[in-house]
Structure 1
Amino acid sequence: MIQLTATPLSALVDEPVHIRITGLSPFQVVNLQASLKDERGNMFYSMAYYRADKAGEVDMKRDSSLGGDYVGVHPMGLFWSLKPEKLLVRLIKKDVMNSPFQVQLKLCDLDLPLTSKATSDSKVSLTLERWYVAPGVTRILVHEGRLRGALFLPPGEGRFPGVIDLFGGIGGLVEYRASLLASRGFASLALAYMGYEDLPPQLEKVDLEYFEEAANFLLSHPKVLGPGIGIVSVCIGAEIALSMAIHLKQVTAAVLINGPNFAFGVPHIYHDQIHQPKPWAIHNVITNAFGFLELHRIYKENENEASRYFFPIEKAQGHFLFIVGEGDKNGDSKTHARQAIEQLRRNGKNNWTLLSYPGAGHLIEPPYSPLCSASMNPSVRLPIYWGGEGVSHAAAQEHSWKEIQKFLRKHLIPVVTSQL
């Protein structure tokens, strides 16, 4: 009898799953499909072909995909290769607390087309639960003063290292990375700063006093371990995080994923200090063959004057983890990280680590998240091309997530030395 097994059936989304098929004929070729429906009803699909061994078994930890959405040995390939049925749809979990994503795995005939009608024709199927929050994690909606966000606390008495989680131009309150960080032992504040409740619909300025309030709020919580906090950030969020690290002594560790080393679009204001945005050339915006915008060349001109717009990163007292997707088509992230690091070096600083990933795109997410190479953005009318190649991007996500946690623990948890 043919059996399809996946272990564990219910787990956090950043945990790997061991998928096996038994009971096949020796060397039989099978088609394995995965599907997921998001909270808005959008469908995502992936598929791969596998050949059984002489015992009639397929083990995705061991065996190579012969074709489909990926080729080679990729135990989690069916997850990170999920593609939206509708173009330009990005997989984003909204309700992290009450329901997981359900991924259906199906073993199908070789000539079966990849459609949602395949269910009744599959030989065998099973459903997995992929959670964004671990048991015992609590969520506290933050509506204090002008602060808007959601605080996630790990189970237990604490205290826990504190982290502010910042996304980019998508706006709103994005919680899925913060909930995962809390599941891994961090008190994590998903912080909204535009496009949410009474916050501005678009970013008109970066008011660093707002983010200072967030840092102080987090540090004042009785379950948060001081004396400093960390930030995990991407895109515009990484721009803000870099600025925070320079101006706010509370920030001791900043993870910057594909962000610039200067102000983009709007000024940064802290008390009476104003840091003006770097000018960009609209004629260097590219519309590629798919009709998607590529923004990674808009700062190619006036490089001789560029340095006067750079943030004074050398003033930061904390540590930086630069994460770069070398296939980023939304920004020249590799150049921006190199410039920031060179600035630190010139000033005798060694408070940085660089992780640069060939083939990875702009949206480097937690492990096994599907690559989103293009999607709509609330601040731009045309779709944006984020870049990235499936296998390379997936590898970058898996490796960087582990390094992010190591970096945060290293710089947020004080080392206790015993006194003899």
Structure 2
Amino acid sequence: MAVLLKTFQKNHPDCHTVTMIQLTATPLSALVDEPVHIRATGLSPLEVVLFEASLEDEKGNLFHSRAYYRANEAGEVDLDHASALGGDYVGVHPMGLFWSLKPEKILTTLVKRDVMNSPFKVQLKLYDSYFLLLLPMLTPKASLTVERWYVAPGVTRTQVREGHIRGALFLPPGEGPFPGLIDLYGGLGGLVEYRASLLASRGFASLALAYFNYEDLPSHLKQVDLEYFEEAANFLLRHPKVFGPGVGVVSISKGAVIGLSMAINLKQVTATVFINGPTVVIGEPLKYHDQTILPLPFTSEFVSMDALGLLHFCDVLNDPQAEATLPSLLPIEKAQGHFLFIVGEEDKNVNSKTFTKHAIEQLKRNGKNNWTLLSYPQAGHLIEPPYTPLCYASRIPKTSFSVCWGGEVIPHADAQEQSWKEMQKFLRKHLIPFKTSQL
């Protein structure tokens, strides 16, 4: 759909022609994990123009990105094929304006909170390239708004307050049944819904599960009780729209330790996506029935601070293989389900590359081949759904500290796009009953 924004007159030796500058984005409204085809026409041949993207999040934080492009001889710029000359990235990157968005206020993370009622609205604008310093005062040559949703039409959200568990259940449209999964985020707590809502939009019954710092759950995590997560798995399997006999877990960081522990101890868990997590118990004891695993003793020697004042936690247990006798090391070889390990090799928060390497060695030593590894050089800790801007560092809420997550913008964006596709393939393979998958 073309959006017409400005008409201007070009002078030619033999005639006067009126050319329409058009900026188009297809689709104008879509899920946040879908690519957008951006194209500008009606420009002067070989003219250099500036594309700008911007959005305001639900807290009023501003994010923006910019890139220069040269029109072809027909006066067109097609971002699917054109190479950016400079700005926030260089080269052919059709979605670069989205994943290169950066906060106006440093150390701010782009997070969607209300997934059901509103999209992120990304403003796309086209400017003459030589007025960069005057950009705030200029009228763009063309502009339009793109809506980026975290939930597809027909997906339902149900608040979950059953027994001890607290969260939100997202169900795809239709009668089902659907493959079920539990979505776990990291050590800041609360209820994070945007990945679960997107996975429901792709056909999964997704339970975004809170485990502290939410409603009547403890404000701080004192211990991880696996019986809580077992209750969540059983809740999901009882649902009439969820396939059995197993559920999946999608987990990152602190949540990944829990996801690994669930895979080891709960027969209900048959597929685990493990994103940038340690394979030892860190921070709080892990309890399941009458068994307790104490955490790795933690000292300030594990934490370093870079020249920007950002905290790095990736030195915690640099070589887990050398510490194989630690009681805090989780016995991954006992897991009966399958693992998808997703690793950002430039993770500055967790030494995920080394941890995952050791976990795979444990599995191999025990004759297991129930794992797949996706390892991405130059990707950081926070591997999110596609086209999410890299969060290199952010503030820790209610503290004066900021933590480094790591990663390089373009390789991190590539890792997010590829891993999202592979994650869905993995979950479908191991959660959908064979006969059903053949229908």
TM-score (norm 1): 0.97
Partner-residue secondary structure (3-state), 1:54: coil
Task: Give the direction of change, closer, same or farther, for the CA distance of 1:341–1:153 in structure 2 (3 Å limit).
Answer: same
Correspondent of 1:261 among 269, 272, 279: 279
Residue 225 (structure 1) aligned with residue 225 (structure 2): no
Residue 304 (structure 1) aligned with residue 322 (structure 2): yes
Supply the distance in 1 between the matched residues of 2:32 and 2:133 (Cα, whole angstroms): 24
Task: Give the direction of change, closer, same or farther, for the CA distance of 1:415–1:26 in structure 2 (3 Å limit).
Answer: same
Partner-residue secondary structure (3-state), 1:225: coil
The one-letter amino acid of 2:224's match is V
Aligned to 2:292: 274
Residue 35 (structure 1) aligned with residue 54 (structure 2): yes
Aligned to 1:206: 224
Partner-residue secondary structure (3-state), 2:38: strand
Supply the distance in 1 between the matched residues of 2:329 and 2:134 (Cα, whole angstroms): 49
Partner-residue secondary structure (3-state), 1:226: coil
Aligned to 1:313: 332
Supply the distance in 2 between the matched residues of 1:338 and 1:289 (Cα, whole angstroms): 29
Deviations along 1:197-245, whole A, 9 cap, x unmatched? 1111121110000000000000000101111000111000001000000
Partner-residue secondary structure (3-state), 1:336: helix
Supply the distance in 2 between the matched residues of 1:402 and 1:165 (Cα, whole angstroms): 16
Task: Give the direction of change, closer, same or farther, for the CA distance of 1:51–1:184 in structure 2 (3 Å limit).
Answer: same
The one-letter amino acid of 1:168's match is G
Alignment check: 8 A CA contact 1:280 1:299 kept: no
The one-letter amino acid of 2:301's match is H
Supply the distance in 2 between the matched residues of 1:380 and 1:226 (Cα, whole angstroms): 43
Report deviation, 1:286: 1.2
The one-letter amino acid of 1:272's match is D
Task: Give the direction of change, closer, same or farther, for the CA distance of 1:279–1:112 in structure 2 (3 Å limit).
Answer: farther
Alignment check: 8 A CA contact 2:120 2:147 kept: yes
Task: Give the direction of change, closer, same or farther, for the CA distance of 1:407–1:325 in structure 2 (3 Å limit).
Answer: same
Aligned to 1:175: 193
Aligned to 1:166: 184
Alignment check: 8 A CA contact 2:319 2:354 kept: no
Report deviation, 1:378: 3.5
Report deviation, 1:326: 0.3
The one-letter amino acid of 2:82's match is D
Residue 81 (structure 1) aligned with residue 118 (structure 2): no
The one-letter amino acid of 1:332's match is N
Structure 1: state its 5+ residue gaps: none
Correspondent of 2:341 among 322, 329, 332: 322
Aligned to 1:58: 77
Report deviation, 1:253: 0.1
Residue 367 (structure 1) aligned with residue 386 (structure 2): yes
Supply the distance in 1 between the matched residues of 2:290 and 2:27 (Cα, whole angstroms): 54
Structure 2: state its 5+ residue gaps: 1-19
Aligned to 2:404: 385
Deviations along 1:316-355, whole A, 9 cap, x unmatched? 1000000000010001000000010000000000000000
Deviations along 1:244-263, whole A, 9 cap, x unmatched? 00000000000000001111
The one-letter amino acid of 2:34's match is E
Alignment check: 8 A CA contact 1:162 1:186 kept: yes
Supply the distance in 2 between the matched residues of 1:115 and 1:249 (Cα, whole angstroms): 62
Partner-residue secondary structure (3-state), 2:240: coil
Report deviation, 1:281: 3.6
Supply the distance in 2 between the matched residues of 1:254 and 1:152 (Cα, whole angstroms): 19
Report deviation, 1:379: 7.7
Supply the distance in 2 between the matched residues of 1:377 and 1:97 (Cα, whole angstroms): 26
Deviations along 1:272-296, whole A, 9 cap, x unmatched? 1111111234123111111110110
Aligned alpha-carbon RMSD (Å): 1.6
The one-letter amino acid of 1:125's match is S
Question: Share of identical aligned residues, percent?
Answer: 69
The one-letter amino acid of 1:279's match is P
Alignment check: 8 A CA contact 2:48 2:128 kept: no
Partner-residue secondary structure (3-state), 1:156: coil
Partner-residue secondary structure (3-state), 2:179: strand
Supply the distance in 2 between the matched residues of 1:386 and 1:91 (Cα, whole angstroms): 14
Alignment check: 8 A CA contact 1:163 1:188 kept: yes
Supply the distance in 2 between the matched residues of 1:310 and 1:137 (Cα, whole angstroms): 39
The one-letter amino acid of 1:188's match is S
Aligned to 1:111: 130
Report deviation, 1:2: 1.1
Aligned to 1:123: 141
Alignment check: 8 A CA contact 1:281 1:298 kept: no
Aligned to 2:162: 144
Aligned to 1:332: 351
Supply the distance in 2 between the matched residues of 1:115 and 1:210 (Cα, whole angstroms): 56
The one-letter amino acid of 1:147's match is I
Aligned to 1:20: 39
Residue 98 (structure 1) aligned with residue 132 (structure 2): no
Supply the distance in 2 between the matched residues of 1:313 and 1:338 (Cα, whole angstroms): 12
Report deviation, 1:306: 4.4
Aligned to 1:241: 259
Report deviation, 1:380: 5.8
Which structure's CA Rg is the greater one? 2
Report deviation, 1:114: 7.5
Report deviation, 1:116: 8.4
Which region of structure 1 is more displaced relative to structure 2, 93-102 or 307-316? Answer: 307-316
Report deviation, 1:301: 7.3
Report deviation, 1:123: 1.0
The one-letter amino acid of 1:212's match is E
